[in-house]
Chains A and B, each alone.
Chain A
């Protein structure tokens, strides 16, 4: 089965592009930050520099692992679903479920390995750039040289491989087995995340305004809340759809399409919710913190500076990563629907109406994602602001929120519509025949 896996990767490299991209980016992020562990572990690094480096590596490394797992899992799920016809064919030709599982997991591991190895070069450069940034702000002494050693390499390759293999295993099991038990696990995870997130957010009130760790509790709380919301989002989406009085052919079709596909959109919604919550919450809290420090007339300590750099880096990475993943999974999902679009056209839909349907679907999904993300983000921002200053909602929130939403809308609608336009260039009869 492994030979078959290798052959199928070699024959159709295009099909694995999205998974490769996810693995590449994920491994890149992990290795970039974990190379700071290597750097800190070198002999002759002073303790302040070492601590800064280790903290940065630890915080973002944790994030990175979570993100990589998400990203690889969502692309692999789309990929496996796309190949259901091929997998069914294999089953009909006598492959046992275990063999199919081995093949899909084998493919995923091969692709992940290639992605991780490709990421080594960029991660070395990224790590160096990151170290330069810390040195420029004076948080790490100039004498420290960047090192790319075993920690970075091993953690990057291991995490990517493990995430890929695990995600592939889950994805293929989901297609060979009907849902039910999985739903319960998901529900449990969602409520657990919401509960822990809620506790984390509330624990903010137990800290004092000048506590260095003040930002950590609401920030992690917001992330956990958004994960919980994201896990529940397909259910919420269905609820929204039942209440939408959309008329017009495109709206009518969009609502009915989405109601059926709600479960499949979990990955995309997850990215949207996380993106909105993390970006809004971290940027708002950081600006409140900076303003409060400036207002108190104190010079920023190294610790405060560290935190700021870290926050901004985290947001930057999360935003870029989630954006790429959003584009990636939306592209895969929309391409996958070529046959469906062909069927709509044969039933009498003009290309404009098909695009209209895609646009309405995009707007509904984006609105749901942004709404949940905003709720989770606010849950983190408000307690922080209340404790740090005496306001409830900082004035900058609206501006930051608008910018974040604008990016989310542009990415979601832009990708879906551009991809759908490209897909529509194939004549309807051909599009329908492709996977018949």
Chain B
């Protein structure tokens, strides 16, 4: 398709800054009556370098998911600028946003979001098919083997365990070679062993494949796999922790909770 060809000429390799948010705001609810409106994001400014693994943490309702959805082009912010891999996310319509996401963004969700009618291999190549890109069978096999599912290509999602499904989702996110992978509570529905496997794979995506990973979580253990933790409270940034340990994250999080006007 000439469309993807035309885009390729603009693609000048990964920018040093994988994700940049400038004064991004998002309000839910009606604008007229202030009491019912919820300010989910309040002028958040954030910059993430290429090849980093960042965990976003905060109490329930702190705006974590909104941040992820605005940064990933799944939702439009009310104000501010979102830049992914050096290109500003200017969505006019869902189709345009989808095309923007295809090349640059991969997703991993808590609920996997694999298509139940497709096999493991078909689910993995789906993003390539939808983007009209050539499918390299060898590479798909290689990626699925790397996530430990090389012998499960013909299985359907309902024949897999939660951990296996999430590994398919990671393979699917990797196969399109996106610059940034967004993970929304990827271990939220998994037992601790499967969770460790999934987190190790995300780490590998950063270290081996040079991807940038942004992971929303409320589990300090999961967050400790990241290079840094970005805290969020009441829709605002609330500090950053480099080289996090489980205890440090837990303590910081407990402290954040104290500042909240209402209990969580």
A347 neighbours in B (Cβ, 8 Å): 113, 115, 123, 126-127, 130, 172
- In the assembled complex, how far is the CB of residue B44 from the closest CB belonging to chain A, in whole angstroms? 19
Interface residues of B in 110-130 (CB under 8 A from A): 111, 113-118, 122-123, 126-127, 129-130
Cβ contact within 8 Å between A348 and B95: no
* Known pairs A351-B95, A429-B74, A429-B75; A346 contacts B117 (CB<8 A): no
Residues of A265-297 contacting chain B, CB below 8 A: none
Chain A residues whose CB sits within 8 angstroms of the CB of B127 once the complex forms: 347-348
Within 8 Å of chain B (Cβ to Cβ): is A76?
no
Kindly provide the distance from the CB of B99 to the nearest chain A CB, expressed in whole angstroms: 7
Would A346 and B109 be within 8 Å (CB), given that A257-B117, A429-B74 are in contact? yes
CB within 8 A of A348: which of B102, B109, B111, B117?
B102
| Interface-facing stretch out of A20-28, A337-345, A390-398 | A337-345
- Decide if B126 touches A348 in the complex (CB within 8 Å): yes
Residues in B with CB closer than 8 Å to A348 are 98, 101-102, 126-127, 130-131, 176
Most buried by A among B75, B123, B129: B129
A81 to B94, CA, bound (A): 30
- Contacts of A256 on B, CB cut-off 8 Å? 117-118, 122
Whether, in the assembled complex, B141 has its beta carbon less than 8 Å from a beta carbon of chain A, the answer is no
Question: Is B107 in the interface zone, CB < 8 Å from A?
Answer: yes
Instruction: Tell yes or no: B69 within 8 A of A by CB.
Output: yes
Nearest residue (CB) in B for A432 is: B113
For the complex formed, measure the closest distance between the CB of A125 and the CB atoms of chain B, giving whole angstroms: 45
A182 adjacent to chain B (CB < 8 Å): no
Q: Which of A249, A261, A344, A352 has the most CB of B within 10 A?
A: A249
A202 interfacial contact with B, CB 8 Å: no
The verdict on A104 contacting chain B, using a C-beta distance below 8 Å, is: no
Q: Are A349 and B130 in contact (CB under 8 A)?
A: yes
Residues of B within 8 A of A259 (CB): 117
Q: Which of A260, A353, A432 contacts B117 (CB 8 A)?
A: A260
Instruction: Let me know if A343 and B115 touch, CB within 8 A.
Output: yes
Interface string of A319-358 (1 = CB under 8 A from B): 0000000000000000000001011111111111100000
Is B132 an interface position by the 8 A CB rule? yes
Given the known inter-chain contacts A349-B98, A350-B94, please indicate yes or no for A343 contacting B75, CB distance below 8 A: no
Provided the pairs A348-B130, A351-B95 are in contact, do residues A427 and B111 lie with their beta carbons within 8 angstroms? no
Is B115 in contact with A344, judged by CB distance below 8 angstroms? yes
Among A347, A349, A353, A429, max chain B CB count under 10 A is at A347
A359 to B239: give the CA distance in the assembly, Å: 50
The closest CB in chain A to the CB of B97 belongs to A350
Given the complex of chains A and B, what is the CA–CA distance between A350 and B132 in angstroms? Answer: 12
Query: Is A252 at the interface (CB under 8 A from chain B)?
Result: yes
- The answer to whether B74 and A427 touch across the interface, beta carbons within 8 angstroms, is yes
Cα distance, A249 to B115, chains bound together (Å):
14
- Tell me which residues across on chain B come within 8 A of A252, comparing CB atoms: 129
The A interface is mostly helix, strand or loop, or mixed, namely helix
Q: Is A436's CB within 8 Å of the partner chain B?
A: yes
Name the interface size band of chain A.
20 to 34
In the complex, chain A residues whose CB is within 8 Å of the CB of B118: 256
> Is the Cβ of A346 less than 8 Å from the Cβ of B95?
no
Residues of A contacting B94 in the complex (Cβ-Cβ under 8 angstroms)? 345, 350-351, 428
Q: Would you list which residues of chain A between 342 and 390 have a CB under 8 Å from chain B? A: 342-353
**Would you give the shortest CB distance from A151 to chain B, in whole angstroms?**
48
A340, B116: Cβ atoms under 8 Å?
yes
Selected from A249, A340, A343, A428, the residue in CB contact (under 8 A) with B74 is A428
B130: chain A residues within 8 A (beta carbon):
249, 253, 344, 347-350, 353
Residues of A within 8 Å of B98, CB to CB, are 345, 348-351
Report the Cα distance A428→B109, complex, angstroms: 13
Given A252-B129, A351-B95, A428-B74, CB of A346 within 8 Å of CB of B111: no
Q: How far is the CA of A157 from the CA of B114 in the complex (A)?
A: 45
Contact A436 B126 (CB under 8 A): no
Interface-central residue, B116, B123, B126, by most chain A CB under 10 Å: B126
Given A249-B129, A256-B122, A350 and B117 touching (CB < 8 A)?
Answer: no
Nearest Cβ on chain B to A259's Cβ, whole angstroms: 8
- A343 and B117 within 8 A (CB): no
Is B95 touching A352 in the complex (CB atoms < 8 A)? yes
How distant is B224 from chain A, measured CB to nearest CB, in Å? Answer: 27
CB distance from B108 to the nearest CB of A (A): 10
- Chain B residues with Cβ under 8 A from A349's Cβ? 98, 130
Q: Is the beta-carbon distance between A343 and B95 smaller than 8 angstroms?
A: no
**With known contacts A351-B95, A429-B75, A261–B117 Cβ distance under 8 A:** yes
**Whole-angstrom CA separation of A76 from B9 in the bound complex:** 54
CA A253 to CA B122, docked complex, whole Å: 9
Smallest beta-carbon distance A291→chain B, Å: 49
Residues of B within 8 A of A432 (CB): 109, 111, 113
When the two chains form their complex, are residues B129 and A253 in contact, meaning their CB atoms are under 8 A apart?
yes
Q: Which of B109, B114, B115 gathers most chain A CB within 10 Å? A: B115
Q: How far is the CA of A257 from the CA of B119 in the complex (A)?
A: 11
Give Cα A260–Cα B114 distance, bound, in whole angstroms: 14
Give Cα A433–Cα B110 distance, bound, in whole angstroms: 10
Whether the pair B111, A436 counts as a contact (CB closer than 8 A) is yes
Query: Which residues 160-211 of B have a CB within 8 angstroms of A?
Result: 172, 176
Give, as a whole number of angstroms, the nearest-CB distance from B214 to chain A. 16
Task: Give the contacting residue for A346; candidates B113, B116, B132; CB below 8 A.
Answer: B113
In the assembled complex, the Cα of A256 lies from the Cα of B127 at a distance in Å of: 15
Chain A nearest CB: distance from B156 CB in Å? Answer: 8
CA distance A352 to B95 in the complex (A): 7
7 pairs from A and B in contact (CB 8 Å cutoff): A249-B129, A249-B130, A253-B129, A257-B117, A347-B127, A347-B172, A432-B109
B interface residue numbers (CB < 8 A to A): 69, 74-75, 94-95, 98-99, 101-102, 107, 109, 111, 113-118, 122-123, 126-127, 129-132, 172, 176
Other A-B pairs beyond A249-B131, A347-B123, A347-B126, 9, CB < 8 Å: A253-B126, A343-B113, A344-B130, A348-B126, A348-B130, A351-B94, A427-B74, A428-B74, A429-B69
Q: Which 5 A-B pairs have the closest CB atoms?
A: A260-B117, A350-B95, A348-B127, A348-B130, A350-B98
